[in-house]
Amino acid sequence: MKAICEREKLLHAFQIVASVAPSRSPKPILQNIKLEATPEKTVLMGTDLEVGIRVEASGFEVESPGSVVLPRDRFGKILSESSDEKLSLDSDGGKVMVRGSRSEFQLPCENPDEFPNVAAFEEEKYHEIATRFFREVVRRTVFATDIESSRYALGGVLLELSESGLTAVATDGRRLARQEGPAKAVGGHSNDANATIVPTRAMQLLDRALADGDENLRLAARENDVLIHGGRVTLYSRLVEGRFPKWRDVFPRRDGMVKIEMTVGPFHAAVRQAAIVTSDDRRGVDFTFGGGKVALAGHGAERGEAQVDL
């Protein structure tokens, strides 16, 4: 394999993929990143066998196609410390030569054929979802997950897919976040028979790897795993095993309820102010409605009291 790459573009893709590779593993080859270069495209792959990611890197001129397994830490430092605009990569399988204008590195490499396969997206049945909306789903749900839970499958985000929509739910037993929006089923794809609970780590990685400029992503929920492809990124993840709580039971019936509209900015600011005096023992903010206003109150045993009116 021989190629010339634009360093900053490779660094960006490499850092995303490197975040999946474990720092320690019974299989040392997993601590590396695999690069496959062809005249058509160059793909970086990383996996810990639970989560895997493929990222297509731009800015490559491939002189000789091939594959190489790159040591994550050392190669990553070369990319980040170098000041060259372009670097050349030359590998014979057992080692890789990295050359800049005034630098040269020789790194030993493992056999590319021994690197576990990271699945490409080849599904015919999937849901199509706007990338910008899906990133919004991640940010509005993952904060409520609980990766330490053993009683329920709370260490991920539940995705419910219908013919024309997506409902994402996350909870840690104390709070619950739900986000709904449009999603288009292709090829009759659905996940009615199985609970699709995507691990928190995989959702956060997707948010980091995807770009709002990518129009749509494709999501294929399978029995034990999920495949998601958007832009230059394909992510594979095993699903969280276990039962997700009956989240719909949390929401009270809306019959006879009063709806109060508020401006988001001032409301958010008031909550932040009232929360200043709260503590780990008492994190809540009390709301009192009446007299044409709402009063937000915070209390802490040794932190004082606060009241903010809206």
Residue 126: the pLDDT is: 94
What one-letter code names the amino acid at 257? Answer: M
Half-sphere exposure of 229 (CA within 13 A, CB side): 13
3-state secondary structure of 247: helix
Q: Measure the CA–CA gap between 33 and 55, rounded to whole angstroms.
A: 11
The overall average pLDDT reported for the chain is 90
What one-letter code names the amino acid at 128? Answer: E
Half-sphere exposure of 60 (CA within 13 A, CB side): 25
What one-letter code names the amino acid at 143? Answer: F
pLDDT digits (tens, 9 = 90+) for 31-89: 999 999 999 999 999 999 999 999 999 989 999 999 999 999 999 999 999 999 999 99
What one-letter code names the amino acid at 150? Answer: S
Q: Measure the CA–CA gap between 92 and 57, rounded to whole angstroms.
A: 21
Q: Measure the CA–CA gap between 306 and 274, rounded to whole angstroms.
A: 5
Residue 284: the pLDDT is: 85
Q: Measure the CA–CA gap between 77 and 7, rounded to whole angstroms.
A: 12
Q: Are 271 and 231 in contact (CB under 8 A)?
A: no
Q: Are 157 and 170 in contact (CB under 8 A)?
A: yes
pLDDT digits (tens, 9 = 90+) for 176-233: 999 999 999 999 898 876 789 999 999 999 999 998 776 799 999 998 999 999 989 9
Phi, psi (rounded to 5 degrees) for 228: -135, 130
H or E segment to which residue 305 belongs: strand 304-309
Confidence (pTM): 0.86
Domains of the chain: residue spans and CATH: 2-114 (3.10.150.10), 126-250 (3.10.150.10), 264-309 (no CATH)
- pLDDT-above-70 percentage for the chain: 99
Residue 156: Cβ within 10 Å count = 27
Q: Measure the CA–CA gap between 132 and 142, rounded to whole angstroms.
A: 16
